[in-house]
Amino acid sequence: MLEVWAEKYRPKTLDEVINQEHVVSRVRAFLKEKNIPHMLFAGPAGTGKTTLALVIARELYGKYWKQNVLELNASDERGIDVIRHKVKDFARTKAIGDVPFKIIILDEADALTAEAQQALRRTMENYTEVSRFILCCNYSSKIIEPIQSRCAVFRFKALDKEHQKEFIKRIAEGENLDTTEDGMEAILYIAEGDLRKVANLLQACAITGEKITKELVFSVASQAKPEDVKEMIENALKGRFTEARKKLIEMLFKQGLAGEDIVKEIHRQVLALDIPDEKKVMLIDAVGETEFRISEGGDAQIQLEALLAKFMLTKAK
């Protein structure tokens, strides 16, 4: 179960929270007063939104934090009945301990239906004296304005490389892992700032019992290697379609990669190409169309070969 390390190395105090000082400083001021408003945490996945919500609960309630917290994943329980019954029943009961309110954490709140959000709005209004809500989401624009206006909004930023490396080293030391520099860079490349993904990748690599190298990381992650995709694209742009197609077939069938993963890596590599911006725009447009067709059920091999053909024709213009 790959959530073990992500949970094990999750920060337990405000001082352990990584790279979100602008958020932590505001939260610390609220906790000093032993009072918090309704909160909306918005930002990319794996940047510490749910973690900080749980840290707040630990800081406020101490050993009674579990009894005073209701944590729900709104993507699983997103209907209006959950808000009307499960959330409402918890929200109107008295807290245990000195703090006069309970905390309800709604993870992935942007997945709540419109009807559920309207019901949540009323619940937040009616039980403010005895309950506080912390809503975590990736896209705050999907939360209705009446809820946003009732919350203090905190925006989380993607973690930089140094803080991600700090997290990797913490796990490597704690689990006695042998990690190479290129293996660490590969993890950072794949995770894209998501610490949950970092922990899961490390754990998956560690299970093999091997030294954590670049090759092992890409193999475990089942993700396209940047150099393979770059080679394929360059062959297509230089008019060597047969060589480009051969590399594509190797990635699809010998490496067993999914078409969507190859498309995502192609998108990354296009942005780094040394070609005029006008042609980059044309290529990205073609990549977007291919990604859509594959997601709608199109055959990955045919769609990706068509994309390589577009690359070749674009360069020839």
The C-alpha atoms of residue 255 and residue 242 are separated, in whole angstroms, by 19
List, as one string, the DSSP characters of 166-180: HHHHHHHHHHT--B-
Q: Which domains does the chain have, with CATH numbers?
A: 20-155 (3.40.50.300), 161-221 (1.10.8.60), 226-316 (1.20.272.10)
For 41, which DSSP code? Answer: E
Strand order through the sheet with 131-137 = 69-73, 102-107, 131-137, 39-42, 152-155
- At residue 276, the pLDDT reads 86
- At residue 170, the pLDDT reads 86
Contact 183, 213 (CB under 8 A): yes
Q: What's the pTM value of the predicted model, to 2 decimals? A: 0.76
Residue-wise pLDDT tens for the chain (317 aa)?
Answer: 456 767 777 778 888 887 788 888 888 888 888 889 999 999 888 888 988 999 999 989 888 888 888 888 755 666 666 777 777 788 778 788 788 899 989 888 888 888 888 888 888 888 888 889 999 999 889 999 999 999 999 999 888 888 888 888 888 888 888 888 888 888 888 888 888 888 888 888 888 877 888 888 888 887 888 899 999 999 999 889 999 999 999 998 888 888 888 999 999 899 888 888 888 899 999 999 999 999 999 999 999 999 999 998 886 55
- At residue 266, the pLDDT reads 93
Contact 45, 157 (CB under 8 A): no
The C-alpha atoms of residue 116 and residue 102 are separated, in whole angstroms, by 20
- At residue 74, the pLDDT reads 58
The C-alpha atoms of residue 43 and residue 40 are separated, in whole angstroms, by 10
